[in-house]
Amino acid sequence: MLPRDLKPEDFRLYPPVARRLVVENITAIRRLPLSFLPNLLREIIEYDYKFPAERTAITKELAKLGADSDAEVEDLLREFSKIRLSPQLESFDWVNSPGQFVERLSDHLWTTHQLDEFRIAATKYGDHLTALVDAEPLPIPRLGVSVVGRDVGSFDGPLFRKLRPHGTFFNRINPENGLNLLLEAVAARARRHPIPYAHWYIDGGEPANHDSILTGISYAALEPIRAALIAKIHTEIERPGMGPEALRSIMAQLRPSTLGMAGDDEIMQRFQLKLLTEASGTQIFSTTYAQWAAREALKRAQPLTLLVRFAPRQRQKAMNELLTVKPEQPELDELGSLIDADMSAYYNWLNQQRLPGAEKSCFLAWFEGHPSVLAIGPSIPRGTESGTEADLEKLLNWLV
């Protein structure tokens, strides 16, 4: 089937809000090329479980596509229309399984050497979308905070090397009560601007006490879910004929209740489930979990405030240990985790800067328990070092 043949009843398996949305916009959807449409449907089919920012973006995107003339849509998606698809892709059930279609499309693009053309098409369309979203001013500038190096006594190497060119490195900040000051500051922002899913606290270990107004997730809280997931994976891979692709499909079909997730907020449950089922390494390394969770939160919920605290991950065992030592409680790698988190802080900043309002956004990275802080913001000099004495609260006030 091709997009032009779509009928409202083709979407009967979609969740209710998504179905209504797609049916309301079916005229616009029919005009879209098949190399493009399943990417959009992959988002729409999850609409019922999307964050407000995602819903707004999808609604705007569909409204824009609906308002454009045939010629404008054709011009916008011309590069997508040039992508050559296989008959197998055209006959795939891309309406009900758009995610799987996109995976197959990706394989097809690699195999037929059309990936570069697709990238050009996607970049052009992405720029167009960004222009749409940019029209909305933010109520306050975005603030990102990355807390790295929990439990590291001392570190002689250079920290925040990739961030330093973009801000000021403060080397005499009073670390006392630092985490509480930061958590209180982000909670105060949330109280002043109580927008759903706009203020987050992600912890790579046990979460510290924090105001429940924050959207909070942690690696420690997911422990039973991770255990259930790993058990499920081990069961599945024992089945005859199980391969990577089949396993991926099974992971994609998992629902929060399957792994024992409970609660009223299905949006957050699904978000957390995807952190474990769609990512690599989040199931085993807390630093990877914290970085990926921050990436996905920024990309999807577009929070105004995001505090990420990294915790020590388990140590990767060397081959000789695996051959001789019995499995036991995993040891932690504090120093390796600091290096992971240092790079992750840079990625957190990069991902924050991809969002609207980047020119006014602020960012702070702190070596927990130590006087080293890197601050980035419109009022902060770039590429400099400062010996100014202050505590984290005062520094945040300067920053934002």
- Number of residues counted as binding another protein (CB under 8 A): 53
Closest C-alpha to 173, from 373, 383, 384: 373
Closest C-alpha to 152, from 389, 366, 376: 366
SS3 384: strand
| Token pair 């001013």: residue | 137
**What pairing do the DSSP bridges indicate for beta strands 305-309 and 313-314?**
unpaired
Contact with another protein (CB under 8 A): which of 209, 319, 359, 379? Answer: 319
Contact call for residue 124 and another protein (CB under 8 A):
no
The backbone region for 68, taken as left when phi is positive above 0, alpha when psi lies in -120 to 50, beta otherwise, is beta
Nearer to another protein, 308 or 395 (CB): 308
Residue 76's CB is within 10 A of a number of other CB atoms, namely 18
Cα gap 15→38, rounded to integer Å: 16
| Token pair 């990767």: residue | 316
Question: Contact region for another protein (CB under 8 A) — 107-115, 164-172, 363-371, 382-390?
Answer: 107-115
Instruction: Give residues 200-229 in contact with another protein (rule: CB under 8 A).
Output: none
Contact call for residue 280 and another protein (CB under 8 A):
yes
Site string for another protein, 249-278 (x = CB under 8 A): ------------------------------
Axis crossing angle, helix 37-44 with helix 16-24, rounded to the nearest 10: 140
Q: Closest approach of Cβ 295 to another protein, in Å?
A: 7
Nearer to another protein, 68 or 103 (CB): 103
Nearer to another protein, 220 or 325 (CB): 325
Cα atoms in the Cβ-side hemisphere of radius 13 Å centred on 186: 34
Contact with another protein (CB under 8 A): which of 317, 331, 378, 388? Answer: 317
Contact call for residue 245 and another protein (CB under 8 A):
yes
Contact call for residue 342 and another protein (CB under 8 A):
yes
Contact call for residue 343 and another protein (CB under 8 A):
yes
Q: Is 75 exposed, middle or buried (0-12, 13-18, 19+ CB in 10 A)?
A: exposed
Instruction: Give residues 131-170 in contact with another protein (rule: CB under 8 A).
Output: 162
Q: Which residues bind another protein (CB under 8 A)?
A: 107, 110-113, 115-116, 119, 122, 126, 162, 233, 237, 243-245, 247, 279-282, 284-285, 287-288, 291-292, 295, 313, 316-320, 322-327, 333, 335-337, 339-340, 342-344, 346-347, 350, 354
